[in-house]
Amino acid sequence: MRVRVEEIPPGGLTVAEQLDPANLNLETPDIRFTGPLTVKAFLEREGDAVEVRVEAAGPTEQACRRCLEPTARPFETRFELSFPVGSDDVLDLTPDIRGELFLNYPVEFLCRADCLGLCTRCGANLNQGGCRCAAPQRVTRSG
């Protein structure tokens, strides 16, 4: 997202784009985008700075921290950015938006609140029934 500072009117400017998460290299081992990322930014000049309010949303598939099953989940976040600028500057918001998206990823994700996780002995998903090893039903929980 590139914006020329001189094109920001006194009342502010709203820009919106659909970004390809693959082009932004947004995937992690735990989060995979399954569609485009919609980014909407409101830019407003404040003296020698531009203040930017950003909303971003897109469909993801996230790995559960207990059972590792991928689960569809929307990703939505809001944040603010500030840039010192001159009147003839061009702002490239993309690198800063990318960085903020990573910072706003969930720390932990569970497919459901009562997820049973994996058997500590054989690795079977205990949400799908008992396991083959007949080990005591010990559940590994993180969070």
**pLDDT tens for each residue of 114-133:** 999 998 888 899 999 878 77
* 95 & 132 share domain: no
* 75 & 27 share domain: yes
Question: Tokens 């459901």 correspond to what residue?
Answer: 112
* 134 & 85 share domain: no
* 122 & 75 share domain: no
**Structurally, how many domains does the chain consist of?**
2
* 41 & 82 share domain: yes
* 32 & 15 share domain: yes
* 17 & 55 share domain: yes
pTM: 0.78
Percent of the chain with pLDDT over 70: 92
Structural domain including 79 reads 2-111
pLDDT, tens only, 49-78 = 999 999 999 999 999 999 999 999 999 999
Is it the case that residue 140 has pLDDT exceeding 90? no
Tokens of 131: 């396991």
Tell me phi and psi for residue 76, to 5 degrees. -140, 140
What is the reported pLDDT for 139?
52
